Structure 1
């Protein structure tokens, strides 16, 4: 680059400066005094320590899943493409087993895990799953023992509204993030798992966003009280599409702890089933004429079909014989309607599923049918 030279003429002052024209004497500037770092309040120190210690046991999970054929609509990309989804998890024992949400690893062909205190990518395998509860147990392979830091489990049955909560995970892929809040509500019922069966959840206002799924919800002592699973979004989506509205939900940790031995043994757990297919609508959706024609009560769960050799079939329940077409397929009317389970009224199919998921497979229940 060429340089341009400029000539300057230095002019001498011929008029002496008077005292009034003289600039005042100034001292050389002094460096600012460094601020003294005040110690954190005791309560805040405790929170910082809990979060720092707990983040060491958090997993950032990348699940590789098959994409669509010819995703790019280009002759150079005619084969099946792959997509990646991110989520969170946490260690539960020294053998490298970790809990996460089933929807985080569902259909994955490869699972990669990152830890806060390592730059290495680790591969994980699925050990067991509980799809109806949106839970999965994975094991991280080849991770040094010093990096496996299990988080202690708390007691979600002892929670009180107003208790402090800490949500850890990777919202929007921002790994090893923390947010705080309170237990906003207990015994909140939300559709959960692969079949979206209504189940009890913990509600919190700690920020939970896409990517937090599978991460822990902690109490102020650093114990896991829940597993973050869903948010309620202003867009109306409960899957995390849209913006956070301060309403997040977690699977109570006691549910996961009760199931844990079975996934650890390699089992796939499905929720308790009666062996029936229920109508996808409620009796209140039918006209009075339709209820009268099929001699239906005003409330209950309509049994459309009964699985051969299943628990309901052995108990003598009957499915319908009159097929009708609905937007979700054929439904058979004219069979039994379940109106109570163990003496507790059942007003709809949703209520029956909710009651059923308070039981374990193998439990005996008494059904009232109409």
Structure 2
């Protein structure tokens, strides 16, 4: 009997432990890389573009059209996304395909060609998954990274590698110099441009921007902190940031690289007699969520306010001291009584002075005057469109620009959206220089 029991015991062990071993093997397949991809892939989109060029180019089809590919990262549930400028430069149409295989048209909201970044809006009223621009305090050289994109049109392709170096410089063939780039050996191919570089926690480390064509395993990404700074500038250059809530916010950091759990956004100051003051906001209030979205950086609050319609309501979840969270509803209102000069500087990005016809008649006899550009705000719509101090703005669309109110009229034009980008004309060095720009909209009729 003993010998039978001894022979049976190992068999019993196999029976008892075989089922858990199968489950554990499945769990082992879900590595940190797999979990990071699952966490982020819904916020990554495929971008297809169409651009018309002379049909003599070999890459053009019979209609003189060139198709382009790229990747984008949704950064807001309303469908705002970031990608590389070169992906959408001078294109006629933009089509975005989300992770659930739904296709949408999209348009460029603002761009920065020098930084090779563009902000797009998906033309849809649905709510999208998004990837916050929180980043990390410092990417670690040698840490595992993941590049997700659409190389050669192969949707949602994943490659892995490491952070090879930080603070790299790269000069492109066109002379543009990129600084403070992340270097990675994760494979980045045509079509990956504008896609994310993430770590195994699913944190966005940067936006893939370039590869060194004459080398293997050398790719570059714009760090998330820089992306966030540029996106903030792009937002500031539009009417989206011009609201009248009265909140001055700040972020307070604890130790740790995880900004989601170690950052607190709180009210630093409440403007007297502002909407926020009338609703009972106080200095020191901690902002937990705005419009149902977790806020970990002051940028998050600015982003949520951005591009809202006047009259729209946002719900704030706040904590005051050790009390339970409470909700406050705030209505978006425009600033009161902005002058024409303030609108031009804060939204358009130019400081101007009217000049008489005698100043410009030597260039063209039919001109009745113009607007001398005294200053151009860095990162503004005017700056990104090539405006320079000393230029004389003489025309937007079909209208002469003689007084600041003429520019404001274009900014509030009912048909502005359908006519973007708008043709402009300036006098520079005694000659008329023409170009096109996306004129930021402003709604003065909504001012109370």
Instruction: Give the length in aligned residue pairs.
Output: 228
Unaligned runs of 5+ in 1: 1-34, 237-244, 274-306, 311-370
Whether the 8 Å CA contact 1:156–1:226 is kept in 2: the answer is no
- Report the counterpart of residue 402 of structure 2 in structure 1: none
Whether the 8 Å CA contact 1:131–1:193 is kept in 2: the answer is no
Structure with more contact order per residue of length (Cα contacts < 8 Å, sep ≥ 6)? 1
Q: 1:260 aligns with which of 208, 215, 231?
A: 231
TM-score by length of 2: 0.46
Whether the 8 Å CA contact 2:36–2:199 is kept in 1: the answer is no
Q: CA deviation at 1:153?
A: 2.6
Q: Distance in 1 between matches of 2:97 and 2:236?
A: 25
Q: 1:159 aligns with which of 119, 139, 144?
A: 139
Q: CA deviation at 1:266?
A: 5.3
Asked which structure has the greater CA Rg, the reply is: 1
Q: Does the C-alpha gap of structure 1 residues 71 and 229 become closer, same or farther in structure 2, counting only changes over 3 Å?
A: closer
Q: 1:94 aligns with which of 54, 77, 96?
A: 77
Q: Does the C-alpha gap of structure 1 residues 132 and 143 become closer, same or farther in structure 2, counting only changes over 3 Å?
A: same
Q: 2:98 aligns with which of 112, 115, 130?
A: 115
Q: Does 2:233 correspond to 1:247?
A: no
Unaligned runs of 5+ in 2: 1-20, 239-347, 350-375, 380-387, 392-448
- Report the counterpart of residue 210 of structure 1 in structure 2: 190
Q: CA deviation at 1:38?
A: 5.2
Whether the 8 Å CA contact 1:128–1:265 is kept in 2: the answer is no
Q: Does the C-alpha gap of structure 1 residues 194 and 262 become closer, same or farther in structure 2, counting only changes over 3 Å?
A: farther
* Mapping for residues 287-302 of structure 1, pairs under 5 Å: none
Deviation track 1:89-124 (CA, whole Å, cap 9, x = no partner) reads: 010011110000000000111000001113x32000
Q: 1:219 aligns with which of 195, 199, 207?
A: 199
Q: Does the C-alpha gap of structure 1 residues 187 and 136 become closer, same or farther in structure 2, counting only changes over 3 Å?
A: same
Q: Secondary structure at the match of 2:64?
A: strand
Q: Does 2:113 correspond to 1:131?
A: yes
Q: Distance in 2 between matches of 1:98 and 1:160?
A: 26
Q: Distance in 1 between matches of 2:55 and 2:224?
A: 39
Q: Distance in 1 between matches of 2:103 and 2:174?
A: 28
Q: Distance in 2 between matches of 1:197 and 1:272?
A: 18
Q: CA deviation at 1:181?
A: 1.1
Q: Distance in 2 between matches of 1:208 and 1:71?
A: 26
* Mapping for residues 1-370 of structure 1, pairs under 5 Å: 39-40=25-26, 44-70=30-56, 81-118=64-101, 120-142=102-124, 144-145=126-127, 148-155=128-135, 157-191=137-171, 196-234=176-214, 245-265=216-236, 309=390
Whether the 8 Å CA contact 1:88–1:215 is kept in 2: the answer is yes
TM-score by length of 1: 0.55
Deviation larger for 61-70 or 248-257: 61-70
Q: Secondary structure at the match of 2:114?
A: helix
Q: CA deviation at 1:130?
A: 1.0
Whether the 8 Å CA contact 1:134–1:193 is kept in 2: the answer is no
Q: Distance in 1 between matches of 2:170 and 2:120?
A: 25
Q: CA deviation at 1:197?
A: 2.2
Q: CA deviation at 1:46?
A: 3.2
Deviation track 1:140-189 (CA, whole Å, cap 9, x = no partner) reads: 111531xx111133435511211111111111111111111110001110
Q: Say which structure is richer in helix.
A: 2
